């Protein structure tokens, strides 16, 4: 299916743009979503189409725009950090230019980079569980940061090449990050990677957070791997919750079991927070929510609130195992990235972003649970007090129908809700910006309820 195959009534401008995209871009550039929304402008928790239709953004651009789209305070801080001030240049500039931060600082050091690294490491150190957060290794994307975290962990002891990953996680599509994604049944699997189970059957709905969870089956799996590979196991990596795998949110004791196993056997414990950092679990970082103290934490998405940036933060002795150039690339610690990170840190440190989230989260969660009364919606999973959920549908067709009906709203230029294509074929992620208000949440949920009704009307007996 090409992009040009998707068109919606009363959207002549959007349809022309979709058709043009289908001609000049390959369909593989984006995942399939039945709406293929054309976003002409955005502000706060909203998008607008070229026709003027307003969409509640319940994706945050895949968990990126945690602070909303084009927030003025954030953008002003970003501008100041970049030195984009023509009235007061920091140094003489030739005609037609003004002096500001470099657009590329490869193989150099900028004050902006050092400030961002110090501030980011300090932000993690000052949260419960952050005592091992010593240094920052920058990257341009989450999958690249995962790759760098694994390189560092493997270099720490090159006699221990085995990596344990939790099954059905998503860590990226490149190199080792792809090798630890999914499960052992996927093709071209790296022989160094072995998988263990992640709680899924026990996490069908919003997690009860009851930690009388039976860890025995998972302990048995870990012991079996240790018996088979022994001291060759040097790294274990997991997500706090399975994001791309279908939004499964485990009891704390499960993740604490993995960490304890790593401590007992001197294994590097990596927590992939690319999707969950900066507020998604109700705390600034997910390791706080789950009572963890990881060796390396991987950050991304919300870290730059829309500017592509990622980072690994963690133990100095692990990073010291890599030599000059072994963690470098063209874009890491680019001043644009560092300015974005500083703006994000400033916003969370100077304003109570997470306080109001709890009230909005409760309102959204209650509204999503009500959706289970409609035929075809099976489960609602999410983070209590956080801002990410997954709606599991009976079939992929129903999930896609719900996404389409949510977008269409009442038709024409009336409001709709923007959602992405299903995770794990039939799970729809709900992840609005953290700044969504209770009032905005109720209005969006009303649209989702109408969409669910129209979807369920098509469910057979």
Are 167 and 307 found together in one domain?
yes
DSSP codes joined into one string, 355-390: HHHHHHHHHHHHHHHHGGGSTTEEEEEE-TTSS-EE
DSSP H/E element including 282: none
The answer to whether the CB of 401 falls within 8 A of the CB of 268 is no
The answer to whether the CB of 121 falls within 8 A of the CB of 313 is yes
CA 70 to chain centre: 19
Are 121 and 227 found together in one domain?
yes
- Say if 91 falls within a structural domain: no
Are 134 and 198 found together in one domain?
yes
- Say if 49 falls within a structural domain: yes
Lowest-confidence pick of 332-336, 438-442, 457-461: 457-461
Assess whether pLDDT exceeds 60 at residue 4: no
What pLDDT was estimated at residue 387?
A: 97
Are 437 and 407 found together in one domain?
yes
- Say if 99 falls within a structural domain: no
Q: Which domain holds residue 244?
A: 111-350
> For the residues 361-375, what does the mean pLDDT come to?
96
- Say if 117 falls within a structural domain: yes
Assess whether pLDDT exceeds 50 at residue 73: yes
What pLDDT was estimated at residue 1?
A: 44
The answer to whether the CB of 392 falls within 8 A of the CB of 206 is no
DSSP H/E element including 195: strand 193-196
- Say if 314 falls within a structural domain: yes
Are 287 and 192 found together in one domain?
yes
Tell me the pLDDT tens digit for each residue of 78-130: 999 998 876 655 577 888 887 889 999 899 999 999 999 999 999 999 999 99
What pLDDT was estimated at residue 86?
A: 62
Q: What is the residue whose two structure tokens read 């669910």?
A: 452
> For the residues 61-75, what does the mean pLDDT come to?
97
Residue 49: beta bridge partners?
none
Task: Tell me how far apart the alpha carbons of residues 138 and 308 are, in angstroms, rounded to a whole number.
Answer: 11
Task: Tell me how far apart the alpha carbons of residues 48 and 416 are, in angstroms, rounded to a whole number.
Answer: 10
CB-facing half-sphere around the CA of 274: CA atoms within 13 A: 30
Residue finishing a domain among 350, 377, 398: 350
Most distant pair of Cα atoms in the chain: their distance: 75
Are 230 and 379 found together in one domain?
no
What's the CATH number where 139 sits?
3.40.640.10
Name the domain count of the chain. 2
Are 327 and 358 found together in one domain?
no
Residues 6+ apart with CB under 8 A from 407: 34, 35, 37, 55, 416, 417, 418, 419
Are 241 and 224 found together in one domain?
yes
> For the residues 441-447, what does the mean pLDDT come to?
97
- Say if 23 falls within a structural domain: yes
Lowest-confidence pick of 9-23, 88-102, 133-147, 160-174: 88-102
- Say if 38 falls within a structural domain: yes
**What pTM, to 2 d.p., does this model score?**
0.96
Are 341 and 411 found together in one domain?
no
Task: Tell me how far apart the alpha carbons of residues 298 and 108 are, in angstroms, rounded to a whole number.
Answer: 23
What pLDDT was estimated at residue 87?
A: 61
Are 314 and 344 found together in one domain?
yes
DSSP reduced 3-state for 460: coil
Tell me the pLDDT tens digit for each residue of 276-313: 999 999 999 999 999 999 999 999 999 999 999 999 99
What are phi and psi for residue 417, nearest 5 degrees?
A: -120, 130
Assess whether pLDDT exceeds 50 at residue 3: no
Are 169 and 314 found together in one domain?
yes
What's the CATH number where 394 sits?
3.90.1150.10
Tell me the pLDDT tens digit for each residue of 186-226: 867 899 999 999 999 888 786 555 567 899 999 999 999 99
Q: What is the residue whose two structure tokens read 């790759």?
A: 147
b/e 193-211 (16+ beta carbons within 10 angstroms → b): bbbbebbbeebeebbeeee
What pLDDT was estimated at residue 289?
A: 96
Residue 268: beta bridge partners?
235
What pLDDT was estimated at residue 2?
A: 46
Assess whether pLDDT exceeds 70 at residue 460: no
What pLDDT was estimated at residue 369?
A: 96
Task: Tell me how far apart the alpha carbons of residues 303 and 364 are, in angstroms, rounded to a whole number.
Answer: 24
> For the residues 320-328, what does the mean pLDDT come to?
96
> For the residues 411-433, what does the mean pLDDT come to?
92
Lowest-confidence pick of 127-141, 172-186, 297-311, 433-447: 172-186
What pLDDT was estimated at residue 77?
A: 96
What are phi and psi for residue 327, nearest 5 degrees?
A: -125, 15
Residues recorded for the chain: 461
Residue 416: beta bridge partners?
55
Are 275 and 168 found together in one domain?
yes
Lowest-confidence pick of 231-245, 400-414, 430-444: 400-414
Residue finishing a domain among 350, 371, 386: 350
Residue finishing a domain among 305, 327, 350: 350
Name the more confident of 186 and 51. 51
- Say if 97 falls within a structural domain: no
């Amino acid at each position: 299916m090409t992009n040009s195959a998707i068109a919606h009534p009363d959207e002549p401008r959007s349809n022309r743009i979709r058709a043009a995209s289908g001609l000049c871009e390959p369909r593989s550039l984006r995942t399939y979503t039945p709406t293929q929304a054309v976003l002409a402008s955005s502000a706060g928790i909203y998008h607008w189409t070229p026709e003027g239709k307003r969409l509640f953004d319940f994706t945050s651009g895949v968990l990126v725009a945690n602070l909303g789209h084009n927030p003025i305070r954030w953008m002003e801080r970003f501008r100041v950090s970049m030195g984009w001030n023509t009235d007061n240049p920091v140094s003489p500039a030739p005609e037609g230019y003004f002096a500001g931060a470099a657009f590329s600082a490869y193989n150099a050091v900028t004050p902006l980079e050092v400030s961002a690294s110090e501030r980011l490491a300090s932000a993690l150190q000052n949260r419960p569980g952050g005592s091992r957060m010593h240094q920052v290794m920058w990257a341009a994307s989450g999958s690249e940061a995962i790759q760098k975290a694994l390189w560092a962990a493997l270099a720490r002891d090159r006699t221990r090449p085995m990596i344990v990953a939790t099954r059905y996680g998503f860590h990226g599509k490149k190199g080792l990050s792809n090798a630890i994604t999914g499960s052992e049944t996927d093709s071209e699997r790296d022989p160094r990677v072995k998988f263990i189970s992640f709680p899924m059957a026990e996490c069908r709905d919003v997690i009860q957070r009851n930690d009388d969870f039976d860890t025995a089956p998972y302990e048995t799996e870990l012991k079996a791997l240790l018996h088979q590979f022994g001291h060759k196991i040097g790294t274990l990596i997991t997500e706090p919750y399975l994001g791309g795998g279908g939004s499964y949110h485990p009891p704390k004791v499960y993740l604490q079991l993995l960490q304890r196993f790593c401590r007992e056997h001197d294994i590097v414990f990596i927590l992939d927070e690319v999707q969950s950092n900066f507020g998604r679990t109700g705390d600034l970082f997910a390791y706080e929510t789950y009572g963890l103290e990881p060796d390396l934490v991987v950050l991304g998405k919300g870290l730059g609130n829309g500017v592509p940036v990622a980072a690994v933060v963690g133990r100095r002795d692990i990073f010291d195992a890599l030599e000059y150039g072994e963690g470098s690339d063209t874009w890491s610690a680019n001043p644009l990235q560092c300015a974005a990170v500083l703006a994000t840190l400033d916003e969370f440190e100077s304003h109570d972003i997470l306080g109001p989230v709890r009230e909005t989260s409760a309102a959204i969660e209650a509204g999503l649970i009500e959706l289970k009364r409609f035929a075809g919606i099976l489960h609602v999973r999410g983070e209590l007090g956080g801002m990410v959920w997954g709606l599991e549908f009976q079939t992929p067709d129903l999930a896609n129908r719900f996404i389409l009906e949510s977008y269409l709203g009442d038709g024409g230029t009336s409001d709709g809700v923007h959602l992405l294509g299903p995770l794990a074929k039939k799970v729809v992620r709900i992840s609005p910006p953290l700044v969504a208000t209770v009032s905005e949440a109720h209005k969006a949920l009303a649209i989702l309820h109408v969409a669910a009704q129209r979807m369920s009307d098509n469910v057979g007996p």
